[in-house]
Structure 1
Amino acid sequence: MVFLLIGVVNTRGFAQGTGKIVGKILDGKTSETLIGATAGIQGTTSGTATDVEGHYVISGIAPGKYTVLIRYIGYESKAVSDIEVKAGVATQLDVTLMQAKSATLNEVVVKATYKQESTGALYAIQKNSISISDGISSELIRRSPDRNTSDVLKRVSGATIQDNKFVVVRGLSDRYNSASLDGSPLPSTEPNRKAFSFDIVPSNLIDNIIISKTASPDIAGDFAGGSVQISTKDIPDRNFINFGIGYSYNTQSTFKSFNTGFRSASDYFGFDDGSRKLSSNFPSTSQIVNKQLSSKQNIQSINSLNNNFNIYNSKAFPGQNYQLTVGNVKEIGQNKNRFGTTVSLTYRNTQTVIPNLVQQFDNFDYHNQQNKFSTNVGALANFAYSFGKNKITFKNLYNRVFDDQFTYRTGANTSTTSSDNHFYAYDLLEKSLLKSTIEGEHALGNKSSKIKWNLGYSNVKNDQPDQKKVNYKQSNPGEPYYATVTSLGKENARVFSTLNENIYSGKVDYSVPIKVFEQSTLKAGVYSQYRDRKFNARFIGLVLDQNNQDYDINSILQRPVQSLFSRNVTNTGLFGLEELSNPTDRYTANSFTNSGYLMLDSKIGSNIRVVYGLRVEKFNLKLNTEETGVSQPRTQLDNTDLLPSVNFTYSLTPKANFRASYYRTVARPEFRELAPFAYYDYELLATLQGNPNLKRTIIDNADLRYEFYPSAGQVFSVSAFYKKFTDAIEPVIDDVNSSTTISYFNSKSAYVYGFEMEARKTLDFISGQQFFKNTTAYANLSINKSKITNPDDGITRLEKSRQLVGQSPYVFNAGLLHTEFNNALSINVLLNRLGKRIFYAGGQRFSSIYESPRTVLDMQVGYKVLKSKGEVKLSGSDILNQKYNFTYQLNGKPYIPSGTGNTFRSYNTGSNYSLSFNYTF
C-alpha cells in the first residue's frame, strides 16, 4: 500500500529550482475571502486570480526576493515587498485589503512588507469571526504532544476531556455539545451515551479546530456548550510525502506483566477474525427460550461458541504508531486550475495495564486488574478541484477502534452471603466510523454572491462480538471458590450485540452582498439530516445442571476458568444453553431533522457589526421495540423550534473588540437515552437503561466578551456567559432497590453562568533579548457556577438542588512554548487542571458521584534534522500521574464538596513517554 501511494503521486512538485507564493486574499473588515482578486509579481507578467475560496498560487518563480501587487475592484491595491522565494518551497502570504475610501479612478496603492502583511492577515482572521469562538491551528497541534483530537481539544479555552475522549465545553457535559467534520455533523459513536469519541481522529490530519461558543443562524442549533468544527486538509500547497514513526513507554504498563484472553493475528489490524461471533446457523432466541433444541443440537451450539477462557500472560509491548501522508497538487490548463489530493494512513497499537482499580460503591469492595489491548487504524482520502470561481471537494475518513479488555476482579459483596469473589471479564468492543462528504462552492455573478452545498454520509458500527463474564464465589473464609454458572443473569451472561447507524445529510447555503447600512451580506440556507439505527443484543449463557447425579458437580464448579467450559465437560451435556430475552433488547430508531435559516451580516458605520437572524428546526423521531401490549412507536418526538440569535461586535480599536450575543439552542435526547434497553455494565456495577419519556431541552444563552490582539498569534480576552435550561437532560442513579440503575430524566430547572479569560503573549515585554522574543506563554481560565433543581416526580432525592452533571467549577490550561536555532528546536510545556464535577447525579440512598480534581502536566521537545525535512520529538504525557478519584456520600447524607467522601472508583493510568520521527520528502 505504501509503494502504491507513493507511485501514484507526481512528486516533482515545482519546475526544477523554482518556488511558489501561495495564500488567501481577505476583506480587512470581515475576513471574507475576495473572489477574483489578482495577485502578480511586480515588474513581471507572472500573476493569477483568486478562486472561490480567495486562494491564489503564483508558481514557477526563481529563488530571490520579490514584491507582490494585489488588486481588487473597489478596494485599495497593496504592494507587499521583501517576499523571499526558495527553491522547492511554497511561501505562504495571506493579504488583507481595505475598501477604497472614494470612488475616484485614481488607484491607491498601500505598501507593506512581507512580515507586516503576514501579521495583519492573521489579525483579521482572529478578530473578524462572526461569533465568540476559540480554536487551534495545525501548527500549534504539531508543536504539542497530542496524538488525537481529544488531546488537542483540552488545549482550547474552556474545553476539557472526559474519559480521555469526550469533550466538555464551558463545564457542560458531552451531551450538550455538537461536532462536525468538514461541514457535516458527526454522529454519536457510543452505544450507551450521546457522545462522539474524539480519540478516533488522528491529530496529524487536522487543518484546524474551531469551537463556536455562541450560535449564529447558519450553525445547527443542537448545542449549549460549544459546536466543535473540525476541518481536515484537502488541496496542499505543494507535493509531499510524509512518513512518521513513534514508540511510547507507559510507566505502569510497558514491559510489565500483561494478561489477555483469546488473541488472533487480525486483532493487530483492528478486526476480529470472526471466531468470537455467533455462527450463521446459531439457534435463534425463540429456539433457545422455548427449549426447542435437542441434546445434540444443544451440545453442537455450545461448542460453536468461542469457549477459550485461557488467560495468556506476556510483557506489554511499547505503544507504536505509524503514519503515512501523501499530498499532491497539480495545475491544469492556462487558467491554472488546481487538482489536489491528500491521502493518509494511520496505525496505533497500545497495551495498557491498570494494576489496581478500586471500586467501593454501595456494598462492593472490589479491586480490579485491567489489561487493554487497543488497535486503531485509520485512512483519509481527500480530493479537491478548484477551477475558476468554483471548487468541488470529496473528503473521506475511515477509522476503526479495536479495544479488547481483560479484567480480573477480587473482593467482597456484603449484600450477599458471599464473603469473596474472583471475577473474570473478557470484553471486546469494535467501533468504526466511515464518513464521506462531497461539497461544492461557487461564486455567482459580479456581486461576490456565493452558493455552497454539502452532501454527507456517515456509518457508525459498534459491536460486542462476545463479552464473556464468569464469577467465582466463596461463601465462607477458607472454603473453595465455586463458579456461579448454575443460573443465568445479566451479571454472568455472554453479550453479543450489534449497532449499525446510517446518517444522510445535505445542506445548501446562499450568500449575496446587499445595500443595507454600510455593507451587508444576506445569507440563507436549508439543511436536512436523516438518521437510521438498528440495535440488537443477545444475552446467552451456559448453565450447569445441578441435579445431574452422574457427575461430581462440585468438582466441575471448582474448575479454574481456563477449563470450566472445555470440550470434555460440554460434550457430557451437563451445560444447557440458555438466553435472557427481553423485547427491549432490540430496537430500531430513526430521526429526521429539517431546518432553514435567514440571517443578515451588517456593517453599521466603521466600527459596528451585527449578525442576526432566525433558524427554524423541525425534528421528528421514532423509536420502536418488540414489546407486545405497548403501542408502537415506543417513543415519538415531533418538535418545531424557532431559534433566534444576534451577535453584536464593536471595534474599539483596530486591535480590540467588544462582543455581545443572545441565542436560543436545543438539546435533543439521543436514541440510547430514550431506548428502554437495559444493559448491565460490570465496570460501573450498575444497569444502564433509557427513559422513553424524555423531552428535548431548550436553552437560552447570553454572552459578553472583550478581546484584544496585541500582535499576530497573540490574544487577551475576557468573557462572561449565562445559560438557562428548560427540561435539562441528566443521567441519574436510581438506587432505591438493591441493584443500581443509571437512567436519564428531565430536571425541573437549571442555569449556568461563568467567566472565561484567555491570554497568549510572547515574553518580549520582559526584555528585548531574543530568548524572550522566542518564548510564548499562554493560559486560559474558566470559572463556572451552575444550579439544577430536581423534578417534582414523587421521588424523594437526597439533593433538592446541585450543580449540573459534568460541569466543572473551574477549568485551567497553561503552557510555555520556546524556540531556538531559527525554530529548529522547540520546547513546549502544558498544564491542565479542572475542578470537582459530578459524574452521575445522586438518588435516594446515595449522593451524587463526584470526580475529584487532578493536575495533568505534558511536555514535548522537538528538533528538526536533515535540512529541516525531518523532526525528532520526545514527548511526555500526564507526567504527574495523579490518581483518578470518584467519590460519593453514604448513609443518606448529601455530598459535601469539601469532604473526601467514599470511593466509587479510583485508579492511575501511568505516565506516557514517546519518541517519534517524522520525515517529509
Structure 2
Amino acid sequence: MAQNTGKITGKVIDQKTSETLIGATVSIQGTTKGVATDVEGHYSLSGIAPGRYTILVRYIGYQAKSISDIEVKANAVTPLDVAMSASATTALNEVVIKATYRQESVNALYAIQKNSVSISDGISSELIRRSPDRSTSDVLKRVSGTTIQDNKFVVVRGLSDRYNTASLDGSPLPSTEPNRKAFSFDIVPSNLIDNIIISKTASPDLPGDFAGGNVQILTKDIPDQNFVTIGVGAGYNTKSTFKDFESGYRATSDYFGFDDGSRALVSNFPSTDRIVNNQLTKAQEIQSARSLNNDFSIYRSKALPTQNYQVTVGNITEIGKNKNRFGTTVSLTYRNSQNITPNYIQRYDNYDYTSQLNKFSTNIGALANFAYSFGKSKITLKNLYNRILDDQFTYRTGSNTATSSNDNRFYAYDMLEKGLFKSTLEGDHGLGAKSKLKWNLGFSNIINDQPDQRKVNYKQNNAGDPYIATVESLGKENARLFSYLKENIYSGKVDYSMPVGLFKSSTLKLGVNSQYRDRNFNARFIGLLADRSNQNIDFDALLQRPIQTLFGPSAISAGAYDLQELSNLSDRYNGHSYTNAGYAMLDSKMGEAVRLVYGLRVEKFDLDLKTLDPTKPEVKLNTTDFLPSVNFTYALTPKANFRASYYRSVARPEFRELALFSYYDYELLASVQGEPNLKRTSIDNADIRYEFYPAAGQIFSVSAFYKRFQNAIEPNFDDRNSTTTISYFNSKSAYVYGFELEARKALDFVNDSKFMKNTTAYANVSINKSKVTNPDDGITRLEKTRQLVGQSPYVINAGLTHSELDNKLSVNVLFNRLGKRIFLAGGARFSSVYEMPRNVLDAQVAYKVFKNKGEFKLSATDILANNYNFQYELDGKPYIPSGTGYTFRKYNIGSTYSLSFNYTF
C-alpha cells in the first residue's frame, strides 16, 4: 500500500526576509498526520493516499495559514513552499490566512526572489535541465552580466577570472590552473548542481577577495524521494565527427581519465644536477634517453561522436517517530569527446601559421553526498571528485621570417591531467526559536599534471629544400616539459545568528573562518640534442628523418643525441598562505518597507613563497584589511524593490603571479613569468538596482555599478624582443562602471491563449566601461590607457521557452553575444589584441515518455558556428603591426548536435 502513496514536501519561510522557520508545524486537516520543520525549514508529509488535501501551517508569532487544493498523486512528490507573515497583533484569537496551492506556490517564489540580502543573480537546477549546457561553465554564461573565457573561466561584469571567487557547498574552490588565478568551471558537470548564485555585492559573511562576483555552487543532497536515473547521450560536431583525427601515443587508460605512467619520467631518471653538470657517461645518457617515451608516431583514425553516460542514485529514509531524514545522492558521470579545430590561423610578429588542433578529452566524475536531518539539526557530508584528461596534438605549418625559414612543420604533443577532490562536512543547528549555529569543515585537493609535453619543429630554408629538424639547441620552446602541480586547501568556519531587540526586528550574525593553502610546483625542461661530435652519424640524413623515426631506437642507441636540461631553480616553487577572518553584521527591518544589512569583515592574510633558487628572495605578503559593507533595500511595493549598496573588497596576488617561473606558451607564442613585487588590490564598490516581480518566476530589473581599484593587478606585455614576455604589474588606478538590465516575462500579455501562457521570453543585457593606465616602466607603449583585459563593453543573453502537452514537450532557444574584449594587452610594437563579437545560438527540444519517467533531449549548440576572430586594434581601428595583416588568431569549432535519453526508476 505504501508504494501507492505520495508526499507533500517543501520549506516554510518568512514572507518578509525568506529566512527559514525552524519548528513550524505542518499538518493535514482532518487527519492526525503532521510534522515540524527542520533546521532548514524543510518538512515532508509522507504516506498520503492519492487525492486532494488542505494543510495547516502554524508558527509562534505568525499568522496561521491554510492551503487548499493540494493534489497528491501515487508514487509522486508534490512540492509546496509556504511563506508566513508575522502577526500584526498579540491578540489570543488565531487568524488563519487562506490560500490555494497555486496561490501559495506563487507567493513563496515571490518571497525567495525578492528578499535576498545582496544584489545577486542565479540559476536553478530546473533552468539548467532545460538548457543544452553540460558543464558549469556553460551554465554560468546564461547569468546576467556573466561571460565565459576559453569555455571555462568566468568573467563577471567585465572583470577577468582573477577578480572573481568561487565556492562549492560552502567552502572555497582553489585555482585549477598552473599559470593563472582561475577555477576551471568545466570540471563540474551541470546535472549535479542544485543551484548557482552569483553575489555581485558583498555582505560581511562573504569572502572579501572579489570585485566581480562570488560564485556559489550547491550540489544536491537529500532527495524528495528514492530514485535511480540512468542517462546516455551522443553528439555530432560538424567540424570533427567522422573526420580524420590525428593524435600521438594513446593508452587505454586515457579513455578513463588516467595516464598509464608511460609518459612520465622513470623513478631512477637522472637528477637535474647530474645532467646539467655533465656527470653522466655516454652510456648512462643513452640509457636515460631510451627510458623516455620516444613514440612520436602520428596515429590517424576517424573522430568518434561525443559520448555521455551518467548514473545517479537518490535515497531517503525516515527514521523514528519524529521522521528524522537520512538522505543520499550518489552520481557517476563519464564523457569522452574527440574534437578537431581545422585551419587554426595564428599571425604574430614574424609568424604566419595555420594549424590543425586535435583534442582527445575524457571527463570522469563522482559525487557522493550524505545528509542526516534530525530535530532542529542537520549534518551533511558532501564529496566531489572530477578528473579531466586533455590530450592535444597540434600540427602547424607556415612561415617564420625571423629565422629566415621559408616554411615550418611544427608538431606538439600535449597531454594535461586535471583532478579535483573536494570534501565538505557541515552542521546546521537551530538554537531556540530563531537562533542558528552553522559550521563547515572543508578539504580540497587539486592536481595539474603535464607529463612530457613534446614540441618539435622542422624548418625549410628555401622552397624546394628539405625540411630539417631543429634539435640542435635547447630552449623552452624546444624542450620536453614535465610539470606537476599539487595544492591542498583546508578550511573551516563557524557562523552564529540570533534575533536582537533593535528597530522593528533585527538579526545579529557573527562568524569566523580560516583557510590554509599549500601548493607545490615542479617543472623540468629536458631535451635530446643532436651530438655533432659523433663522427659515426650522418646528421644531414638524421635530421631529415620524419617525426616518427627522428628519435628512433637505432639513433638513440648509436649515441646520436645528447641528454640536456635547462636548469633554472626558479622553475620549482612552493608556497602557502593563511587567511583568517572574522565578521559581525546586522540584518535590520527598520519598518514595513526598509531593510538594512550592514557590518564589518576583517581579514588577515599571510603568504610565503620560495623557489629552490637560494639567490632569489622569499616572497612574503602580510596584510590586514577592514572591509565594511552596507546593503539597503526599500520595498516600493509588494512586488518591487529599490536596492543600494557599498562595500570594500580586495584582490590578492596568486602564487603563480608572484613566482618567477617562466613558461613558454606555444599557443600564445610568448613566455609567461611572475612578478614577486606585486601588491594586493583594494577596491571600492557601489551599486544601485530597481527590481520588479510581475509574477512568479518573472522579473524586470535594472542595475548600475561603479568600481575603483587601487593597485589593480594587470598583465604586463614586453614585446620588444623576438619572444614576448607576459608578466604582471600594479596600475596606480583603474575603474569599471556600467549597468545591467534583466527581464523574464510570460507572453500572456500579448493574448491570453494557452500557447502564450506557456511561452516565456527573457533577456539580460550588461553595458560596461573600464579604464586602466599602463605602467610607466621605461617601455614606450602604443597605448597609454586601455580597457581592462577580458572586459566586454556589452553582453547580451536572450531566450525563449515554451511547453506543451501538459509539460511533456518543452522547447528552449538561447542566444548570446558579447562585445569585443581585450585578449592580449598591447606593448611597444603591437597594439592590443581584441576578441571580436560572435553570435551564439543554442536550442533544445525535450519530450517526456513512459509516464514522464523517461525523457529524450535533442540539443544543438553554436548553431550559427561563427568564427572566433582575434585581431589587432588601436584606437578602435584595425591595426597592422607587420606584413601578416591585422588578424592575430582565427578559427571555427563548428556546431554540435546531440541526442540524450534519461530514465528514472
Tell whether the structures are fold-level matches, with TM greater than 0.5. yes
Contact 1:749 1:790 in 2 (8 A): no
Q: Matches of residues 493-892 of structure 1 in structure 2 within 5 Å?
A: 493-631=479-617, 633=618, 635-889=619-873
The CA deviation at 1:36 is 0.2
The CA deviation at 1:868 is 0.5
Equivalent position to 1:175, from 150, 162, 184: 162
Secondary structure of the residue aligned to 2:554 is: helix
Task: Read off the aligned partner of 2:771 and give its amino acid letter.
Answer: K
The CA deviation at 1:545 is 1.0
CA distance in 1, matches of 2:149, 2:754: 39
| Residues 384-429 of structure 1 deviation map (CA, whole Å, 9 limit, x = unaligned) | 0000000000000000000000000101111112221111000000
CA distance in 2, matches of 1:609, 1:497: 52
Equivalent position to 1:334, from 321, 330, 339: 321
Contact 1:289 1:581 in 2 (8 A): yes
CA distance in 1, matches of 2:476, 2:142: 40
Task: Read off the aligned partner of 2:600 and give its amino acid letter.
Answer: L
Q: Which residue is equivalent to 1:9?
A: none
Equivalent position to 1:896, from 876, 879, 885: 876
Is residue 96 from structure 1 mapped to residue 80 from structure 2 by the alignment? Answer: no
- The structure-2 alpha-carbon separation of the partners of 1:425 and 1:895, relative to structure 1 and needing over 3 Å to count, comes to farther
Q: Which residue is equivalent to 1:473?
A: 459
The CA deviation at 1:564 is 0.6
Q: Matches of residues 199-218 of structure 1 in structure 2 within 5 Å?
A: 199-218=186-205
Q: Which residue is equivalent to 1:304?
A: 291
Contact 1:732 1:840 in 2 (8 A): no
Contact 2:208 2:627 in 1 (8 A): yes
The CA deviation at 1:863 is 0.3
Q: Which residue is equivalent to 1:488?
A: 474
| Residues 461-517 of structure 1 deviation map (CA, whole Å, 9 limit, x = unaligned) | 001011011110111111111101112111110000000000000000000011100
Contact 2:872 2:879 in 1 (8 A): no
Q: Matches of residues 253-264 of structure 1 in structure 2 within 5 Å?
A: 253-264=240-251
Instruction: Supply the RMSD in Å over aligned alpha carbons.
Output: 0.9
Task: Read off the aligned partner of 1:113 and give its amino acid letter.
Answer: T
Contact 1:646 1:661 in 2 (8 A): yes
CA distance in 2, matches of 1:275, 1:134: 46
CA distance in 1, matches of 2:177, 2:537: 45
Equivalent position to 1:108, from 76, 89, 95: 95
Contact 1:15 1:60 in 2 (8 A): yes
The CA deviation at 1:346 is 0.4
| Residues 67-89 of structure 1 deviation map (CA, whole Å, 9 limit, x = unaligned) | 01000000000000000001111
Q: Which residue is equivalent to 2:39?
A: 52
The CA deviation at 1:455 is 0.3
Equivalent position to 2:343, from 352, 356, 359: 356
The CA deviation at 1:296 is 1.6
| Residues 221-274 of structure 1 deviation map (CA, whole Å, 9 limit, x = unaligned) | 111110000000000000000111000000000000000000011000000000
Contact 2:378 2:427 in 1 (8 A): yes
CA distance in 2, matches of 1:558, 1:791: 47
Secondary structure of the residue aligned to 2:191 is: helix
The CA deviation at 1:630 is 2.8
Gaps of 5+ in 1: 1-13
Secondary structure of the residue aligned to 1:286 is: helix
The CA deviation at 1:898 is 6.7
Contact 2:879 2:886 in 1 (8 A): no
The CA deviation at 1:371 is 0.2
Q: Which residue is equivalent to 1:915?
A: 899
CA distance in 2, matches of 1:738, 1:484: 17
Q: Matches of residues 153-552 of structure 1 in structure 2 within 5 Å?
A: 153-446=140-433, 448-552=434-538
The CA deviation at 1:445 is 2.3
Contact 2:419 2:446 in 1 (8 A): yes
Contact 1:729 1:745 in 2 (8 A): yes
Contact 1:76 1:100 in 2 (8 A): yes
CA distance in 2, matches of 1:653, 1:226: 28
Task: Read off the aligned partner of 2:362 and give its amino acid letter.
Answer: T
Q: Mean Cα displacement is larger for which, 398-407 or 538-547?
A: 538-547
- The structure-2 alpha-carbon separation of the partners of 1:899 and 1:40, relative to structure 1 and needing over 3 Å to count, comes to farther
CA distance in 2, matches of 1:283, 1:899: 49
CA distance in 2, matches of 1:755, 1:114: 37
Task: Read off the aligned partner of 1:330 and give its amino acid letter.
Answer: T
Task: Read off the aligned partner of 1:250 and give its amino acid letter.
Answer: N
Contact 2:392 2:413 in 1 (8 A): yes
Runs of at least 4 residues of structure 1 off by over 4 A? Answer: 897-901
Task: Read off the aligned partner of 1:371 and give its amino acid letter.
Answer: N
Q: Which residue is equivalent to 1:4?
A: none
The CA deviation at 1:629 is 2.5
Is residue 139 from structure 1 mapped to residue 126 from structure 2 by the alignment? Answer: yes
- The structure-2 alpha-carbon separation of the partners of 1:897 and 1:557, relative to structure 1 and needing over 3 Å to count, comes to same
TM-score, normalised to structure 2, is: 0.99
CA distance in 2, matches of 1:391, 1:885: 51
CA distance in 1, matches of 2:326, 2:671: 53
Q: Which residue is equivalent to 1:3?
A: none
The CA deviation at 1:550 is 1.7
CA distance in 1, matches of 2:875, 2:352: 20
TM-score, normalised to structure 1, is: 0.97
CA distance in 1, matches of 2:438, 2:825: 43
CA distance in 1, matches of 2:206, 2:822: 29
Contact 1:501 1:532 in 2 (8 A): yes
Contact 1:222 1:665 in 2 (8 A): yes
Contact 2:831 2:879 in 1 (8 A): no
Secondary structure of the residue aligned to 2:334 is: strand
| Residues 782-824 of structure 1 deviation map (CA, whole Å, 9 limit, x = unaligned) | 0011111123333322111111111100000000000000000
Secondary structure of the residue aligned to 1:419 is: strand
CA distance in 1, matches of 2:46, 2:553: 71
Secondary structure of the residue aligned to 2:274 is: helix
| Residues 707-742 of structure 1 deviation map (CA, whole Å, 9 limit, x = unaligned) | 000111000000000000111111232111121111
Secondary structure of the residue aligned to 1:297 is: helix
Secondary structure of the residue aligned to 1:577 is: strand
The CA deviation at 1:604 is 0.5
Secondary structure of the residue aligned to 2:111 is: helix
